[in-house]
């Protein structure tokens, strides 16, 4: 298996605060990798550095065998796309779904926008009736589907997901998670999923990095986490909190 993403010695500083400290990990091609931790632990910052949104970093990032500089060429974005946490904020309120999806196609000069848009909408389970709607005419789950379609329309091989379900209801969360695992299977996508919810990460990913205060304190497979083969007290706390939350529902 080739490595899709290799990160080593990644440091990110915002002024005086050191947000990401010497982070290293690798993600294989077609693998799903999870990053969990509290907010402020630096997990989203790592994704923003990977996707080229944050240019202030040091260390090395290699994506699909190519060492990356701070500024990425347009071709990079055909390979790597990102889905953001809040579908209410990440879609332009005055652009229809059609315009939102047509923009990346035009930027990259792919042509054949009409068919691509229809296909992208079908892939995320939205029928053609949604194509000329505005975001305010969609429910939260539908908006997140549009956001995923926007990322997938360029047919990337790597998808970065920043808390893709935490702004959604549990019932919608289940739909979006199912959609992601279907897409992963159908396209062999490499996923990097950031979440504070260990159960969500566990549903999609095989390996998880646990972050605390800008550092990866532990990296473990989901099987190890389930069987309790973990070494850091903080990971144990997270697992216990996740079990407690679920146990409250299923214990009786």
Partner 1 sequence: MRVETPLLAVENLRVRFHTPTRIVEAVRGLSFTLGREKLAIVGESGSGKSMTGRAILDLVPWPGEVSADRMEFRGQEMMGLDRHGRRAIRGKRISMVMQDPKFSLNPVMTVGQQIGEAYRVHTKASRSEARERALAMLEAVQIREPARVHDLYPHEVSGGMGQRVMIAMMLIGEPDILIADEPTSALDVTVQAQVLDILERLVTDRGMGLIFISHDLPLVASFCDRVVVMYAGRVMETLDARALSKGKHPYTRGLLGCLPDLDHPKDRLATLKRDPAWANGAGT
225 binds partner 1 (CB under 8 A): yes
192 binds partner 1 (CB under 8 A): no
Number of residues forming the site for partner 1 (CB under 8 A): 36
Check residue 135 and report its DSSP letter: G
Q: How far is CA 203 from CA 173, 179, 186, 234, in A?
A: 11, 12, 17, 20
- Contact in structure between 87 and 176 (CB atoms under 8 Å): no
Whichever of 66 and 169 has its CB closer to partner 1, that residue is 169
From 8, 9, 22, 38, residue interacting with partner 1 (rule: CB under 8 A): 38
Residue with tokens 């605060």: 17
Whichever of 69 and 136 has its CB closer to partner 1, that residue is 136
Element (H, E) at 201: helix 198-204
Q: Report which of 91, 34, 74 is spatially closest to residue 156, judged by C-alpha positions.
A: 74
DSSP strand pairing (158-162 vs 17-28): unpaired
Query: Contact region for partner 1 (CB under 8 A) — 9-17, 76-84, 92-100, 170-178?
Result: 170-178
| Least distance to partner 1, CB of residue 208, Å | 11
120 binds partner 1 (CB under 8 A): no
Alpha-carbon span 137 to 30, nearest angstrom: 34
| Least distance to partner 1, CB of residue 201, Å | 9
From 169, 188, 221, 233, residue interacting with partner 1 (rule: CB under 8 A): 169
Check residue 185 and report its DSSP letter: H
Residue 59's φ and ψ, nearest 5 degrees, are 115, -160
221 binds partner 1 (CB under 8 A): no
Whichever of 28 and 140 has its CB closer to partner 1, that residue is 140
Alpha-carbon span 102 to 96, nearest angstrom: 10
Query: Contact region for partner 1 (CB under 8 A) — 7-15, 38-46, 59-67, 106-114?
Result: 38-46
60 binds partner 1 (CB under 8 A): no
Residue 54's φ and ψ, nearest 5 degrees, are -110, 115
**Interaxial angle between packed helices 140-152 and 113-123, expressed in degrees from 0 to 180 and rounded to the nearest 10:** 130
75 binds partner 1 (CB under 8 A): no
200 binds partner 1 (CB under 8 A): yes
Residue 28's φ and ψ, nearest 5 degrees, are -75, 165
From 99, 102, 113, 177, residue interacting with partner 1 (rule: CB under 8 A): 177
The residues binding partner 1 (CB under 8 A) are 38-40, 139-140, 169-175, 177-178, 181, 196, 198-200, 202-203, 222, 225-226, 239, 241-246, 248-252
């Amino acid at each position: 298996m080739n490595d899709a993403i290799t990160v080593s010695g990644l440091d990110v500083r915002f002024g005086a605060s050191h947000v990401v400290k010497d982070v290293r990990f690798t993600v294989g091609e077609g693998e799903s990798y999870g990053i969990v931790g509290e907010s402020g632990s630096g997990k989203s910052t790592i994704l923003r550095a990977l996707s080229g949104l944050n240019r202030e970093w040091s260390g090395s990032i290699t994506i699909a065998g190519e060492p990356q500089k701070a500024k990425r060429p347009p071709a990079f974005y055909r390979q790597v796309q990102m889905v953001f946490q809040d579908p209410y904020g990440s879609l332009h309120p005055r652009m229809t779904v059609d315009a939102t999806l047509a923009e990346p196609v035009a930027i990259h000069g792919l042509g054949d926008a009409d068919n691509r848009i229809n296909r992208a909408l079908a892939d995320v389970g939205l029928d053609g009736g949604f194509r000329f709607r505005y975001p305010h005419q969609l429910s939260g789950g539908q908006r997140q589907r549009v956001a995923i379609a926007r990322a997938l329309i360029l047919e990337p091989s790597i998808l970065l997901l920043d808390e893709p379900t935490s702004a959604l209801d549990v019932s919608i969360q289940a739909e979006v998670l199912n959609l992601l695992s279907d897409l992963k299977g159908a396209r062999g996508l490499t996923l990097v999923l950031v979440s504070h919810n260990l159960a969500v990460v566990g549903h999609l990913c095989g390996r998880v990095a646990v972050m605390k205060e800008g550092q990866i304190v532990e990296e473990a497979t989901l099987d190890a986490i389930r069987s309790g083969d973990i070494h850091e007290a903080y990971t144990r706390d997270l697992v216990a909190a996740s079990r407690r939350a679920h146990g409250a529902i299923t214990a009786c």
